[in-house]
Structure 1
Amino acid sequence: MIITDEKLKGSIEDKMAIADSFNLMDDDFFAVVMRDKAACSYTLSRLLDKKLNVIKVDTQYAIRNYNGHSVVLDALAEDDEHKLYNIEVQVKNKDYHPKRVRYYQASLDTLFLEKNQNYKELPELYLIFISATDWLKGGKCKYTVCRMVDETHQEIDNGVHEYYFNAAVDDGSSLAKLLQYLKNSSADNSSFGELPKAVYNHKRTAKGADSMCEAVENYGYRKEAEGRVEGRAYEIIALMLETGADDEAIIARLMSRLEISKERAIEYYNAYKKQEGKAEK
């Protein structure tokens, strides 16, 4: 389905049709559904194979870093034991996921450890990454990462639990069935506890479909704004290259003109060079 502004702002039937086209592997729909604490509790319990009770969920949770790379988490949940769960869904294999997870962990640790607190106060953290592809190529639905001493094979517990889930493999297990549901999230499926109830609410009720379309519309506005900044960055880069400016000068100009971090300026510059390289071939 092609989602247009007219459909986003149109009749409730149009909005419900848009909402019905989404699945839980779409990060915006996933974020909206995970706001339901019961649905989030069920999803985490099934993924981690343990009973837990979510008491708080923040979705599209932004951690701003004005001197570096900011992040926006799909969902950040807290259970009744004050353990934290960061859940991410990814359809395209565009990043090296362990490095991304590493940065997310660092961002969360910095956020939740206040000045003068002891490191022991860091909350227990579960990093959960759900991918549509088997990027580890092990043919497994679930990959658990452990910190271990090579020489003694002793596991080191630093309070971080790292999991990668693969929705590309269907081995017939109950976990695989849940992952397949994330890819094909029917509102009429009743096999997954509270999760389909939340899906139904956002696909088949007027209020839910309206909130879903509002989320998609806001996402569109964000992407449009990002596109404008990127376009301006490319203009600056092209003009400065024509004058013979070096890399350092171009990055400095991007930072000052666009009021962005050095890391973001480098990202724009590398993307521009990659794009121009393809155009020359």
Structure 2
Amino acid sequence: MNRQAQAAVMFLVGAALLHAGGTNLYLRYVKAGLQWLVLTAGAVLIVAALATAWYEWKRARTRKAAQEAAQEAAQAAASEAASEAASEAAPEVAPEAHAHPEPRISWLLVLPILALILIAPPALGSYSAMRTGTALQHPYGYMKLPKADPIPINLVDYAGRAVYDHGRSFGGRSVRLSGFVALDKNGAPYLVRMALNCCAADAQPVKVALTGKIPPVLQPDAWLQVTGTYTARVTHDPVNNGPIPYLKVTEAKPIPVPSDPYDESWNN
């Protein structure tokens, strides 16, 4: 692949990064705090691509001017030599070397870039969650909860308080949390959030088992907002034997997929 093609591919990669960083698409790959790095990387690649294209254009013009000057000098010398020695045969001129075109198959490198721009990958869901053990960690401490009833709380925070604080901080109040549905091989329902430290590659599930007034039909990967009360019941993840608390559901309703489907509370 020549320099012009390299510059074109670099420009497309930079444009893809700017597109991802300027929309919510980047949240499918990295956490929200890294948006500025995605945008910076895209801008740097575009500037580098433009600089490469300008340098190649300038070098091509310089090369063309040098070739034209050499041809004029050769023609002048040949004309002078012909006039001085008309009897001598004109020297043969070696044919110019022709550059071989680059293989067109190299442009297939553009296809993954176009896929990044045109096709948004789905966030990790129930398939990954049920094949990975719960990543619930013992919290270092607990933030003060609002006085509302039900208490709005993220799923990871609820799971930590339910398992390690035994629900004492809830004070008997109900809670409201959201996540996507996952079903185990026996059809038991879980509400799950994928928690990440840096990017989607290190995302791990935190699971809450559901009991009580569960909707009769649950679709895996569907998002629910669930209101319920703490229960001391705890089960263990069959993948890694990690603790999974229960929530006694009193109300559940479907919600749209959030713009940021991952939980980043571990980074706060």
User: Is TM more than 0.5 here?
Assistant: no
Larger CA Rg, structure 1 vs 2: 2
Task: Give the strand-richer structure, 1 or 2.
Answer: 2
Q: TM range, normalised to the smaller chain? A: under 0.3
The normalised TM-score by structure 2 is: 0.20
